[in-house]
Amino acid sequence: MGRIKAIVIKEFFHILRDPRSLTLVFIIPLVMIFILGYSISYDLNRVDAAVIDLSQSRLSKQLVRAFAANRIFVVHTRVQSQANVLSLTAAEDLLRRGKIKEIIVIPADFSRRLAADMQADIGLIIDGSDVNVANLVYQYDERIILDFIAAMKGVGQLLKLGTKVYFNPEARSQFFFIPGLVAVILLMISAMLTSLSIARERETGSIALLFISPLQSREIIVGKTIPYIVVALLDGALILLFARFWFGIPLRGSLAVLLFFALLYILAGLALGILISTTAPTQRVAMLATLLSTLLPSFLLSGFIFPLDSLSPILRAISYAVPATYFLRIIRGVILKGAALRHFLFEGFMLIALSLFLLAAATAKFNKQRRAAQ
């Protein structure tokens, strides 16, 4: 124990000797959450649509008005000043330029067909490049048309469909994104903190001193991790408090539970960093490896942006190796739903297992290098 303490103290000196890095560790996450918390959202606030009304009848004008009355639709009927009716080619060009998201075409026989009790079709030409937006636009279209039919027939609603949203009643995407960002940032910062520690010693050659020290490899690895637990946990607490008080993300569960799991999660991140550091020959390799192994997987394979239930079995298996998968579930559950410790026994167990595995792998790797050097 005393020997581990010695290496912990030495490592603390390393951290304190570079106060600028330490400041960055605390400031960068806050600035990031501040900027990104406001900037990333999926909400569809405005749909620009061009309407080509070839029918120009009472009913078609009513339909156009129904679209215009919707909160998010901005309807353009006259773009070229000289022409009364917007031509299809001009509208297609606007679509290509990204000025509008859809073109609504009402055919000339629209009201004639309706009067004859036949089905009248409306053309909806939607910009499909952003799939998410295209789907939402189409859903809005359908709803507006169904409401219009109901009003036309005077039947009220065809069917009563009530939707109630829980945990995030205003459907603010900040509630979804900010806890996710906290998870990604916490993992990345933990992994980065330790990722250079051994690679740096290797680059400067001081690793030879570590090799010949009486310490066991296990003790070196653990001793190099402990100081960063303190740093990362302080950082994590700061980030959580910032999300709570600046963005008003409610904390419905217990802070102690959240910090407990944050500790396990940080440990997994630090262990990943240590493993990278023992494997990488230079700091440059360590940096690149840390980024590649944490950034996109934490966003895309953790359930942050794409729900895990939809993934194929192989990808789901990979997601079990991504620490963010577990913490994301925990942080969303505790913060937004007020879930308790006992809900996340599996997640907690997996985080511990991952950390132990990574630390063991790092120790084995370090041991091998040590023996090769001697």
Rule CB under 8 A: is residue 362 a binding residue for another protein?
Answer: no
CB of 233 to another protein, least distance (A): 18
Q: 98 phi and psi, to 5 degrees?
A: 80, 15
Q: 68 to 97, contacts with another protein by CB under 8 A?
A: 92, 95-97
* Cβ(351)–Cβ(333) below 8 Å: no
* Cβ(233)–Cβ(317) below 8 Å: no
Closest CA to 269 of 334, 201, 185, 343: 185
* CA distances from residue 143 to 73, 98, 133, 146 in whole angstroms, order as listed: 13, 24, 16, 5
Q: Please give the Cα distance from 106 to 56 (Å, whole number).
A: 9
CB of 1 to another protein, least distance (A): 28
Out of 12, 343, 360, 364, the only residue in the binding site for another protein (CB under 8 A) is: 343
Q: Which is nearer to another protein, 44 or 237 (CB)?
A: 44
Rule CB under 8 A: is residue 28 a binding residue for another protein?
Answer: yes
* CA distances from residue 296 to 188, 218, 290, 300 in whole angstroms, order as listed: 11, 31, 11, 6
Q: What x-and-dash track marks residues 167-206 binding another protein by CB under 8 A?
A: xxx-xxx-xx--------x--x---x---x---x--xx--
Instruction: Considering only the stretches 77-85, 124-132, 222-230, 257-265, report the one whose residues sit in contact with another protein under the rule CB under 8 A.
Output: 124-132
Q: 281 to 300, contacts with another protein by CB under 8 A?
A: 281-285, 287-292, 295-296, 299-300
CB of 207 to another protein, least distance (A): 14
CB under 8 Å to 13, separation ≥6 — which residues? none
CB of 302 to another protein, least distance (A): 10
Q: 159 phi and psi, to 5 degrees?
A: -155, 145
Could you tell me how many residues of this chain bind another protein (CB under 8 A)? 113
Sign of CA dihedral 197, 293, 279, 214: positive
Q: 3 to 22, contacts with another protein by CB under 8 A?
A: 18, 20-21
Long-range contacts of 119-128 (CB under 8 A, 24+ apart): 122/63, 125/91, 125/92, 125/95, 126/101, 126/102, 127/95, 127/98, 127/100, 127/101, 127/102
Q: Which is nearer to another protein, 90 or 300 (CB)?
A: 300
Rule CB under 8 A: is residue 119 a binding residue for another protein?
Answer: yes
Q: 218 to 277, contacts with another protein by CB under 8 A?
A: none
Rule CB under 8 A: is residue 353 a binding residue for another protein?
Answer: no
Out of 1, 165, 256, 372, the only residue in the binding site for another protein (CB under 8 A) is: 165
Closest CA to 267 of 167, 185, 354: 354
CB of 144 to another protein, least distance (A): 9
Q: Which is nearer to another protein, 116 or 256 (CB)?
A: 116
CB of 314 to another protein, least distance (A): 8
Q: What x-and-dash track marks residues 135-164 binding another protein by CB under 8 A?
A: xx-xx-xxx-xx-xx--xx----xxxxxxx
CB under 8 Å to 206, separation ≥6 — which residues? none
Q: What x-and-dash track marks residues 307-336 binding another protein by CB under 8 A?
A: x-xxxx--x--x----------x--xx--x
Q: What x-and-dash track marks residues 43-72 binding another protein by CB under 8 A?
A: x-xx----------------x---------
What's at 301, amino acid-wise? L
